[in-house]
Each structure stands twice: as C-alpha cells, then as structure tokens.
Amino acid sequence: MLLNSRSLIDKLVRKNLSFLRITSFCLFAIVGFFILLLASTIYMDYAKDFGKESGLWKTNFVVLNKKISSLQSITGEKSTFDQSEIDELSKQAFVEELGVFKSSQFPVKLQLGNIGGMRGFTTDLFLESVPENFIEVENSAWQWTTDTQYIPIILPKSYLNLYNFGFASTQGLPQLSENLFTKIPFQLVLGKGENQQVYPAKIVDFTTKINTILVPPAFLDWANEELAAKTTVEPSRVLLNTRMDPDADMLHYFEDKNYDVNKDELKNNELTYYLQLAFSGVLLIGLLIVGAALWLILINFQLMIEKNKKKTKDLFLMGYTLTQLSRPYIKYACLFLVLSYLAAIPLLFISDSFLQEKLQRFIFVEQSQWIRMSCYGIGLVLLLILINTLFIRTSIKSIITHKKRAS
C-alpha cells in the first residue's frame, strides 16, 4: 500500500512537471552556482593576497615621514612627529588606526660566523619596532621575553636580494633562498663598552612593504631601557592603517602638512579596494541569479500544487499524511537543485584550470581552492533545499488545513 501510494503521488507530480520551466530553473541555477563558486575561488586564490607578496603586512597601510629640507641638513634638526601632530593625524577621517615606529637608541652590530661555505662578517645596523597589531606574523615566532632563546627579526626582502645578486655573486658566496636564510643563526651585538651584550637572533619573515629591520616591541623597549641613556625620543615615522575606501582628501592632507608618503602604497590600497568591490559585485550577481532560480522553482511547484489542489484534498481524505503528500514535490525540487549544482562543478574546474594556466606567469598558486569552495557551496545547496522543503510543506499544509475547516 505504501509503495502504491508513493507511486500514485509521484506520477501525479511528474505528469505536471513543465519541461520549459524546469529547464529554465536549471540553467539559472547552474549559471548562478558557477558565478558564485568561480568568484569565491578566484578571490581565495588571487585577490585576497592582492598587492602583498607576503601575508606579513595588513593591506591598507601607509608609512609617513616628514620631508627633509636643505636647512635641516645644515642645522642638524631632526624631522620628527611631536605628540600634537600625532593626535591631529589620528583624528583624520581616513585613519583607522595609528602606530609609531620606535628605534634602537644604542649601537647594534649583526655578526655571522663561518657557516655552510659562507665567510663570517659583521655589519652595523639599526633596529625598529611597530605595534604588533600592524603586522600579521605567527605569534609563537614573534613573541619575546627575557627567557626567549633568540631575538626574532623581520628583514626587508630587498636585503636578501642585495646579498644574493650583489654581494654573493661578486664574492663567490652561495646564494640563499628565503627558507634557508631563516635557518641561519645570527648574533646581535648590542650596546658598547661595559654594557655590550651578545644575543642570538633569527630571521622569522621577510617583507617587501617597508625598508627597515623589525624586532618585537617588547624586546626593543627592554633593550632601550637597559642599554640606552635616552629611552624616550619623538618618532620620525608613523604607520597608518587607513580605511579601505580611497579618500582623495588623504593625499591633499599629506601634501599640505609636507608629509612624505609612498604613493605606490596609496595606489595599491585603492586597487585593492576596487578589486574587492568588484568581487563583491560579482558575488552579489551570483546570489541574485541563484535567488531568481530558487524563486522560479518555488513558483513552479506552487503552480503544480495549486493545479493538484483538488486531488491533494481527496488524497488527504483517503488517509494520506502531509509527509506522503509533500515528499514527491520535495524530492524533485531537491533533485533539480543538486543536479544543477553538480553541473556547475565541472565548469568551475575547467575555468579555474584555464585561469591558472594564463596567470601562472604572473601569480603562482600552490594549490587552488576550488575544491574547498565547492565544499562550502554544499552548505548553500542544503540551505536552498531547506527553504524548498519548508515552502512545499507549508503550501500543502494550508490546503489540507483549509479542507479540515471546510469539513
């Protein structure tokens, strides 16, 4: 009896399926799913790291310093920011967050002994720090206390390039990759005279964003207090975390205040903003298309339910339950949704492979995220199935409830 009842209602639903409407729904759904998945995959593969070769620095930041005049060169006056200038800058509408550079106030030497075919060398340098919330580096590698075994350093990538393509090539020394460079044990000689101390150091990351040697703020504060006679100085540079939307007034403000800024950073931030805006628009279009497809199938099944209204009432009076009456409608709605989603997956794979082939000369992607995005898409499909199920059950329930009241 159960099998016969299922077969009877199933035939009733199949008989009223509109090929044109179902085909239209599937095409809409396939296109919508494809756009959503492709845009998400491209963003995860390329756009989320646009404008930064390393995940070290937050995207929308700029470094400010004051322009040095000829008179300052003669008089020796320092171009620093006083507290009133910092306060004024932090109140500007385009500033999300402001941080200052702190510099070492004591002599610093970096030395390396003979290791792996490299001759030992010693060089003078300086150390700086910025607030930790301006960089994104693994916490365990960047934290420092007096019990830490080494001083972590973030080095400009340009320094590595200078060594590999300048110093090493002319001195007969081996060239080193970034990964190998981080394995080399260095030593920092801090201070002078009786206060001079030697600490092991290790490079934990590289940056292309700023030309300075960074150490953790906790270490630099401690070292300045221990080794420097003057620990409090006005900063010569500030770091701004700007709002994502480009602000034309920002550059005018910098020019009026005679602040020097890398305009490439501003252009990069603006490009990042518009790129993310474009991807948001594409994702929205994909969602609208999927929403239109969902609405189309809901209307289609609503028309079928209305068309079979009298037969549904009769079957309910014969003893069929709400679940039995709604199951065939739900089954076909879910089937069309799942088939449409599955049809979008090969299109995603083909398009992603094509893009990787064309862009591999410019951007290398170690592993595409299309499988991951496809798995996330299953969650969207399940949500749509749930909406369909609730809609169909509600429609049929209103019919049989109305029949009960009429009786």
pLDDT in tens, 195-242: 788 889 988 888 777 788 899 999 998 988 888 876 677 888 888 887
Would you list the DSSP string of 321-351?
-HHHHHHHHHHHHHHHHHHHHHHHHHHHHHH
C-alpha–C-alpha distance, residues 202 and 110, integer Å: 11
DSSP class of residue 64 equals E
- Best CA proximity match to 302, nearest among 5, 21, 7: 21
Question: Does pLDDT of 251 surpass 50?
Answer: yes
Asked whether the beta carbons of 40 and 376 are under 8 A apart, the reply is: yes
Task: Provide the pairing of β-strand 61-66 with 197-207.
Answer: unpaired
Q: 76 falls in which pLDDT band (50, 70, 90)?
A: low
Residue 15 has pLDDT above 80, yes or no: no
Q: Where are the domains of the chain?
A: 2-52+271-406, 102-231
* CA pair distance 302, 172, nearest whole angstrom: 79
Q: Which of 97, 347, 25 is nearest to 244 (CA)?
A: 97
Contacts of residue 94, defined as CB under 8 A and 6 or more positions apart, other chains included, come to: 242, 243, 247, 249, 250, 253
Kindly state the helix (H) or strand (E) to which residue 320 belongs, with its residue range: none
Rounded to whole angstroms, the Cα distance separating 322 from 310 reads 15
pLDDT surpassing 70 at residue 405: no
Taking residues 366-385, report their average pLDDT. Answer: 86
**In the predicted structure, residue 245 carries a pLDDT above the cut 70:** no
Whole-angstrom distance, CA of residue 351 vs CA of residue 103: 49
Would you place residue 322 in the very low, low, confident or very high pLDDT band (cuts 50, 70, 90)? confident
Cβ atoms 37, 377 nearer than 8 A: yes
Bridge partners, 109 (sequence order): 124, 189
**149 pLDDT band (50/70/90 cuts)?**
confident
User: What residues form DSSP beta bridges with 156?
Assistant: 207
Are residues 189 and 109 in contact, defined by beta-carbon separation less than 8 angstroms?
A: yes
Average pLDDT over residues 100-115: 82
Which candidate, 160, 130, 154, 153, places its Cα nearest to that of 206? 154
Q: CA 93, CA 70: separation in Å to the nearest integer?
A: 32
Are the beta carbons of 336 and 297 closer than 8 angstroms? yes
Q: Read off the pLDDT of residues 334-370 as tens digits, 9 standing for 90 and up.
A: 888 899 999 999 999 998 888 888 776 666 666 788 8
Which is it for strands 151-156 and 197-207: parallel, antiparallel or unpaired?
A: parallel
Which percentage of the chain shows pLDDT scores above 90? 5
Query: Which residue, chain included where needed, has tokens 């014969």?
Result: 318
- List the one residue out of 332, 327, 250 whose CA is nearest residue 298: 332
Gap between the Cα atoms of 400 and 394, Å rounded: 10
| Mean pLDDT of the residues in the chain | 79
Number of H helices, E strands in the chain: 14, 11
